[in-house]
Structure 1
Amino acid sequence: MNWRNVYALGVKELWSVLKDPVLVVLIIYTFTLALYSVSKGANTEVKNASIAIEDLDQSALSERLDQAFLPPYFKEARRLSSGQDIDTLMEQGKVTFVLQIPPNFAADLRAGRSSELALQVDASAMSQAGSGAEYIQQIVAQTISEYFGLDLSTKVSLVTRAYFNPNLDTTWFNAIMQLVNNVTLLAVILTGAAVIREREHGTLEHLLVMPLSASEIMAAKVWANGLVILVAVVLAIFGMVKGVLGVPIASSTVPLFVLGTLLYLGSVTSLGILLATLARTMPQFGLLAMPTFVVMQLLSGGTTPLDSMPVLLQHIMQLVPSTHFVAMAQAVLYRGAGIGIVWPQMLAVVATGLVFFWVAFRRFRKMVSS
């Protein structure tokens, strides 16, 4: 491999990207507006949840319960009249929670008798259903305790301390994970589109009549497109993630994350070239790339913990470089881990990347020779 040829071809790839306004706009949008909108818009904590109350007691206690659900966790409670069809209301998706207060609720508690509240939950709103029910339970218990002037808590209390994200702010989590997902998405699209574009425009044949090898052509596409994404990642960390979104990332952890991203780009850009060799046209490449990206995004540990997946699937995902990159990114940017902790993940990224590069190179060389 002649590295001067690789450098010259890579410069050509950079100019191809910079002269394509659609790709430039896509890169800017992906690491700015798309990153911001997902980080701010996709919340998993309880926020502005809709709740309705069917008050069959009509007591001072039930009135206080009605006023206990306040923003930003809940919208203003909707009062339901007796006999109103709750099932229809929930089927229409107008409320997520319905709290039913039985008759003589306050009188039974005052007399020392037990009483039950009914809480109906629309479980299709998965991001709010589970934690929202716990919020409601805590609010009801606290309101009743304050109303009767009694401490209804148990003798053993659970004190919770949240590390690395003490405010449980979804924005902090979404910003980093969306940045990782964008790296995967753009790396696959840019390198794959570069191969398809060369073939559709006929410029690949021009390269083949020159004293160039398939390895030089492929290596140039990997480093050039990887460099574009790496620069965009660094600018996004300091400009969007730390600057606009205010995620408290220690500047000392950024170099290690950039190094891990560099290693990861070698494997994921090879994946883009591999998919491009399996497709003959740009639409076919899109149909191959999107399901691949979705699977990598959902099963790499960024959306749901890897430990919650089936054991067989956990073993399979160890062969995918995005799994190790997500683990490395979370450890470095969330917990401030050093290289002494994340070196196994970085080594796994390199190992899986070499396999991806080797398979992609064989496919690319076969495509070039044919």
Structure 2
Amino acid sequence: MAALVIHLQNILRLVVKELRSLRADPIMLVLVVYTFSIAVYTVATGVKLEARDLTIGIVDEDQSDFSRSLLGAFGPPLFKVSKRIAANQIDDEMNSGRLVFVLEIPPNFQADLQAGRQAALQLNIDATAMTQAGNGTVYIQQIIAQEIANRQAGRETATSLPINLVVRARFNPNLDSGWFSSVMQVLNNVTLLTIILTGAALIREREQGTVEHLLVMPVTPVEIMLAKMVANALVILVAAVASLVLVVEWALGVPITGSLLLFVVGTAIYAFSVAALGILLGTLATTMGQFGLLAIPVFVVTQLLSGATTPMESMPVWLQWIMQIFSPTPHFVSFSQGVLYRGAGFDVVWPEIAKIIAIGTAYFAFALARFRKVIFA
């Protein structure tokens, strides 16, 4: 028991040392504050995944009542620009980026519809505007289908359907991408800064030569590692919770339906796992430049393949298995979405927490072995 108390006292003193070292680095503190405040707000308000302010040109070779009504259907707020153009203007308008969509209505289109003959429209899409191209195409198809249905029904009002489909979007009723991107940005920043802070703390001591001071002190490698992980994870945890409450919930108006305490516990466990990864990278690199080159691809892979940007189900099955076995990030994203969006309790998310603990324990064991070999060899 006395030995355990001594170990805890050593870890506490080393944690205080790490916090003081971080306080003495104003650039790193500014990075933490900026990443969890301005960066989260600007991403949530500036990066929109839904279609808006679309631009469309219509080549009307039919000059019928239907083509004129179709032109009027492409109006605000979904479409910012909707105008008639000539067929010889298509390439110029699309090459210059002024129009993302160009709809070509062939001659006799309305007559073919009325006669029951097969009719065709051509929609040209600038696929370099990927989000607008994908989502906007769906809206345009729906508008055209509705206009054709109205025309065939002989009236301009919405046609009555044999069923009444009631759509209710749960957890994000307005389908606002900012609700999703703001929370995901906080999660991504937890991963990024935990890796950077823990790895940089070790590299900084190796570059400045202060690690030799630790070697002559009555402390063990486990105590040194835990102190660095706890200190930096604590800073990230406080910043993440503050960002979630002040930026996401208060400034952006995104409701947090789940237990904040459960999220804090899960984030602390995840930060421990990622901090071990940061220590591991710090043992592989000898300079801050090398550490940066190692950390960037690790973060990019874990972030892009975590399910925070694209669904895990859209990835190849073998890649899903690799990410879920070797990375704690997909489990943390699933845990956070369940708690923050759907209000899930511990009885629902405990499998994800268990997986994070298992992967984090493996990272810690590997990092400790490397730490002993590189630092204390």
TM-score range with shorter-chain normalisation?
over 0.9
1:308 corresponds to which residue? 314
1:94 corresponds to which residue? 98
1:218 corresponds to which residue? 225
How much does 1:81 deviate? 1.6
d(CA) in 2 for partners of 1:330 and 1:104?
Answer: 52
d(CA) in 1 for partners of 2:142 and 2:376?
Answer: 68
Structure 1 consecutive aligned stretches of length 4 or more whose deviation exceeds 6 Å: none
Measured against aligned partners, the alpha-carbon deviations of 1:170-195 in whole angstroms (never above 9, x if no partner) come to 01110111111000000000001101
Amino acid at match of 1:358: A
d(CA) in 1 for partners of 2:164 and 2:118?
Answer: 22
How much does 1:95 deviate? 2.1
CA contact (8 A) 2:35 2:189 kept: yes
Does 2:210 correspond to 1:206? Answer: no
d(CA) in 1 for partners of 2:160 and 2:363?
Answer: 56
Does 2:121 correspond to 1:121? Answer: no
d(CA) in 2 for partners of 1:206 and 1:41?
Answer: 47
Deviates more, 1:300-309 or 1:99-108: 99-108
Among residues 139, 147, 158, which one is paired with 1:135 in the alignment? 139
CA contact (8 A) 2:203 2:286 kept: yes
TM-score normalised by structure 1 residue count: 0.94
d(CA) in 2 for partners of 1:361 and 1:143?
Answer: 66
Does 2:256 correspond to 1:253? Answer: no
How much does 1:18 deviate? 1.6
Instruction: Sort the Cα spacing of 1:158 and 1:102 in 2 relative to 1 into closer, same or farther, 3 A.
Output: farther
Give the secondary structure class of the aligned counterpart of 2:366. Answer: helix
Unpaired runs of 5+ residues, structure 2, are none
Instruction: Sort the Cα spacing of 1:129 and 1:155 in 2 relative to 1 into closer, same or farther, 3 A.
Output: farther
- Aligned Cα RMSD in Å? 1.9
d(CA) in 1 for partners of 2:74 and 2:353?
Answer: 47
How much does 1:107 deviate? 3.6
Among residues 11, 28, 33, which one is paired with 2:38 in the alignment? 33
Does 2:362 correspond to 1:355? Answer: yes
Does 2:199 correspond to 1:167? Answer: no
Unpaired runs of 5+ residues, structure 1, are none
CA contact (8 A) 1:141 1:152 kept: no
1:104 corresponds to which residue? 108
1:229 corresponds to which residue? 236
Does 2:86 correspond to 1:67? Answer: no
2:250 corresponds to which residue? 243
d(CA) in 2 for partners of 1:78 and 1:269?
Answer: 55
How much does 1:166 deviate? 1.9
d(CA) in 1 for partners of 2:85 and 2:199?
Answer: 56
How much does 1:88 deviate? 4.7
Deviates more, 1:225-234 or 1:50-59: 50-59
CA contact (8 A) 2:150 2:159 kept: no
Give the secondary structure class of the aligned counterpart of 1:50. Answer: strand
How much does 1:92 deviate? 3.9
Give the secondary structure class of the aligned counterpart of 2:48. Answer: coil
Does 2:129 correspond to 1:149? Answer: no
Give the secondary structure class of the aligned counterpart of 2:259. Answer: helix
Measured against aligned partners, the alpha-carbon deviations of 1:154-208 in whole angstroms (never above 9, x if no partner) come to 6456543322212111011101111110000000000011011111111111121
Deviates more, 1:123-132 or 1:234-243: 123-132
d(CA) in 1 for partners of 2:354 and 2:179?
Answer: 27
d(CA) in 2 for partners of 1:72 and 1:27?
Answer: 37
Amino acid at match of 1:122: D
How much does 1:113 deviate? 4.1
Measured against aligned partners, the alpha-carbon deviations of 1:28-59 in whole angstroms (never above 9, x if no partner) come to 10011100111112211111122111111223
TM-score normalised by structure 2 residue count: 0.92
d(CA) in 2 for partners of 1:144 and 1:323?
Answer: 44
1:335 corresponds to which residue? 342
Deviates more, 1:20-29 or 1:128-137: 128-137
Deviates more, 1:227-236 or 1:1-10: 1-10
1:289 corresponds to which residue? 295
